[in-house]
Amino acid sequence: MTIALLVETQVGELSQQTLILPHNGEVVTYHRDSTGQAGRGQTWAQLEDTSTLPDTLLTLNPVAVLLTERDTALVGSGLVTNIGAKALYALESAEPIIAPSTHREAVENLIGSLYAGDNSLTAYITDKRRVNGITLEPLTGVKPQRAEIVEFIKEQTPPKYERVEAPQMDRASALAYENMISIPDPKWAKEYINRYFDDGKSDFEIYDYALENDINVLIEGGAGSGKTMSVIAYASTRNYRYFNVSSNAGIDPSQLFGRWIPRDDGQGYRWQDGAVTLLVRYGGVLLLNEVNFMPERIMTVLYSLLDDRREIQLLDNGGEVIKAHPDLLIVADMNAGYRGTHELSQANNDRWKVKLEFPYDKRIESKLIKSKTLLELAHKLRDQYDREEISTPISTRGLVAFQKNAVGLGLNLAIASYVNGFDKDERSAVRMSIETMKVNIARDLGLVVDTPDVDNSTVEKVSAMQLAEQMLQAMQGQVGGSN
């Protein structure tokens, strides 16, 4: 069993109606301009191509009806009145259109989907009792050439992505590809320190392997452990375009996959790919940040891209199916067990064939952090975190920020800023831990500090423990004085 589709555009009292249906392995189209009155002018006329169809905007979604064997036989005789009548009856239950399209564009997209055997077309059947068990098969006939509706970039304009030659982009897509998706700054490639895993493989070698073999990579690690930076540095090093999908409850799928926007000339609407769609079409590095916090309405679109199909389907763009470009690398990262996150479903978890763990790496931190005392402090605080005495992770990113602030803004301000990153009931204990090591941190970084009881000329002679004792005595004196 198969279906016929009806596209209607209302212009005043005139209804522009196009029937789309399969016949003998091909798609045939019939059109009429109806005033709702009987007469010869209301008959359906078969079209040779779609170039004569109107460019007026649709106001309702297309509808679909099931074709019986009798309907199919009548089509062979050029009789589609019965099919048209059923489709017009179904049109009474059509919903307002969400993604604006012109009449001709809608027909052309539906023709392509019907040739492809796209089962999403069954969503247009208004009688939902008839949808179950319907499977559309691809048609065997030769698909006609569609009319060109966009201007293409000329040959002298090189593709923006060069490792594997990408298909030519229309001008609007090229601008969006250049503006929304960029190659990360070269400084990330220069500054990044690679991680190494079992068998001596670096993170970049693993990404190279995943790219060549259409494998998705999942990175798990604490906040600020370098997960995102690893992927950015890889894209920068390999000169790939990069886009990061930040998971949050308010994210709109149209921002990622595409939407209909007004044409520049004000004549109707055109489809504009979103950043994820552009990467799927033309290649690059896609990072799904905090994938265990990703809204389900986003993940459901991505599932077919993450499994062996390696494709996405744009239901809002006539059900278009896009096969992933050969140079598309998909990486996700996650912080397990953090507030607001959830366990990955088995279906989601199985789509990541390579799973990497990014713990806080002492080797990397020793190259980033000049102060050995600051590293000792980090290890001490992490022991407290492991014992659940504090709940705030001690991230590599936070240590780098502490060091940078200390050198650029002063150690006291750096300490205050760092302490404010902890929960309020943890701040007092964390500040005390830092203050006991303050002098040595200053010495490691080549800084001079002022202390309440020690002038600068004697700072180097005062041990961290002595300073802590002085501070404790001062605090006890303040408490005694207030009683």
**How far apart, in whole angstroms, are the C-alpha atoms of residue 373 and residue 399?**
12
**How far apart, in whole angstroms, are the C-alpha atoms of residue 262 and residue 289?**
31
Q: What is the pLDDT of residue 100?
A: 61
Q: What is the pLDDT of residue 73?
A: 82
Cβ count within 10 A of residue 261? 13
| DSSP tag of 42 | G
Q: What is the pLDDT of residue 41?
A: 47
Q: What is the pLDDT of residue 34?
A: 82
Contact, 311 vs 353, CB < 8 A? Answer: no
* Extended strands (E) in 274-360: 284-289, 311-314, 320-323, 328-334, 354-358
Q: What is the pLDDT of residue 454?
A: 40
Strand partners, 243: 286
Q: What is the pLDDT of residue 242?
A: 93
Cβ count within 10 A of residue 377? 23
CATH annotation of 171-358:
3.40.50.300
Each domain of the chain, given as residue ranges in start order, spans 2-130, 171-358, 362-482
State which H helix or E strand residue 173 sits in: helix 171-180
Query: What would the two tokens of residue 262 be?
Result: 């007004």
Radius of gyration over alpha carbons of the chain, in Å?
A: 32
Digit-by-digit pLDDT tens for the chain (483 residues) are 689 999 998 887 788 999 999 988 889 999 998 876 554 446 888 998 888 898 888 777 899 988 888 888 888 777 888 898 888 888 888 776 655 678 888 888 888 888 888 888 888 888 766 556 677 888 865 444 433 323 322 333 333 334 444 445 556 556 656 666 888 988 988 889 999 998 889 999 999 999 999 999 999 988 888 999 999 999 999 999 999 998 776 677 887 898 888 887 777 788 888 889 999 998 999 999 988 888 888 888 899 999 999 999 988 888 889 999 999 999 999 986 555 556 787 878 889 999 999 988 889 999 999 999 999 999 999 999 889 888 888 999 999 999 999 999 999 999 999 999 999 999 999 999 999 999 999 999 999 866 554 444 434 444 444 445 545 554 554 444 443
CA distances from 16 to 31, 90, 230 (A): 8, 16, 55
Closest listed residue to residue 201, CA positions, set 213, 209, 212, 193:
209
State which H helix or E strand residue 478 sits in: helix 464-482
Q: Are strands 26-34 and 14-23 parallel, antiparallel or unpaired?
A: antiparallel
